Amino acid sequence: MDLIFDISALASDKEEFTDSKKDVLKYLKIIGVDSRFISYTPQKIYINNLRFSKFSRKRQETFNGRYPDIEVVRNSLFQKICSKAAKSLSDIKPNSRILIPEDNFMVNVIMEPYMRKYGVKLVIDGEYDLIANPLVLDYEVNQIFSTIFAGEGLEFNKRENEVYPLINVPLDWINSFLEMDGRLKMENENSNELASSFMEFLEDVAPQYRENVLKAADYIEEKLYPLNYLE
């Protein structure tokens, strides 16, 4: 239930809030927003899950009354991306140190709330427990088809010390969101022309093929080749 009074005025009588990340997140908590389901950046707050974040329009109005320069992004496509990403991040151990790519906005913005969900620490250098691999669904499926067409069978390249935030997310979803957010699109890194052509054909006849191909490959890797993970 939304607050029936302006809590921002109440908070201002007790303490001042700066533009620091700590204070922004603290203020969100005060007005009833669950910051485990939003991604923080200094310029924008991205809602990952509208229901669980409890970031209602009323709370947004209260938040922007205190922080008018921070945009709240209520993008349904981004929420779908976060839902897909969560499937591959559910096994992260609490308090892990995760090495993230410094220049990949999508990985960074998706991983950011896991600092509060699981208490992980995101680092760009130094010691780490896990690596956030920016592999996208399309790239993985292209690689699967490439090795099959080359007569090499399936190659299992996932590593035990890596997590894959984008492996369940289609490239067109990512680029559509990036375009809406005013950012540069990710380049299509699919390198095998035959595999790319086959993927274009499947896109017309079976739009969900990428997820099904990945599920089949994961099943084979888990059930038939349990020792094929690289160390």
CATH code, domain carrying 221: 3.40.50.620
Cα distance between residue 28 and residue 79, in whole Å? 19
Query: Hey, what are 97's tokens?
Result: 């140190």
Question: Where a domain ends, among 56, 74, 92?
Answer: 74
Q: Say which residue the tokens 């990340």 belong to.
A: 21
Predicted local confidence at residue 5, as pLDDT: 43
Domain membership of residue 28 as a residue range: 7-74
Q: Quick check: 221 and 156 in contact, CB under 8 A?
A: yes
What total of structural domains would you count in the chain? Answer: 2
Beta-carbon-side half-sphere exposure of residue 205 (alpha carbons within 13 Å): 5
- DSSP assigned state of 227: T
Residues 111 and 198 in one domain: yes
Question: Where a domain ends, among 24, 40, 74?
Answer: 74
Query: Hey, what are 155's tokens?
Result: 């190659």
Residues 38 and 133 in one domain: no
Q: Quick check: 158 and 88 in contact, CB under 8 A?
A: no
Residues 53 and 88 in one domain: no
Residues 96 and 170 in one domain: yes
Residues 221 and 157 in one domain: yes
3-state secondary structure of 91: coil
Residues 151 and 168 in one domain: yes
Predicted local confidence at residue 18, as pLDDT: 95
Residues 17 and 125 in one domain: no
Beta-carbon-side half-sphere exposure of residue 103 (alpha carbons within 13 Å): 3
Residues 69 and 104 in one domain: no
3-state secondary structure of 44: strand
Which positions of the chain have pLDDT values less than 50?
A: 1, 3-5, 13, 227-231
Residues 154 and 216 in one domain: yes
List the beta strands (DSSP E) in 87-218. 97-99, 121-123, 130-132, 162-163
165 in a structural domain: yes
Predicted local confidence at residue 159, as pLDDT: 82
* Burial (CB count within 10 angstroms: exposed 0-12, middle 13-18, buried 19+), residue 103: exposed
Predicted local confidence at residue 140, as pLDDT: 87
1 in a structural domain: no
Residues 203 and 111 in one domain: yes
2 in a structural domain: no
Residues 83 and 177 in one domain: yes
Residues 121 and 208 in one domain: yes
Question: Where a domain ends, among 57, 74, 91?
Answer: 74
Predicted local confidence at residue 230, as pLDDT: 46
- The sign of the CA dihedral 43, 49, 50, 54 is negative
81 in a structural domain: yes
Predicted local confidence at residue 220, as pLDDT: 75
Predicted local confidence at residue 190, as pLDDT: 65
Beta strands across the sheet bearing 162-163: 121-123, 97-99, 130-132, 162-163
Q: Quick check: 223 and 151 in contact, CB under 8 A?
A: no
**Backbone angles phi and psi of 168, in degrees to 5:** -100, 5
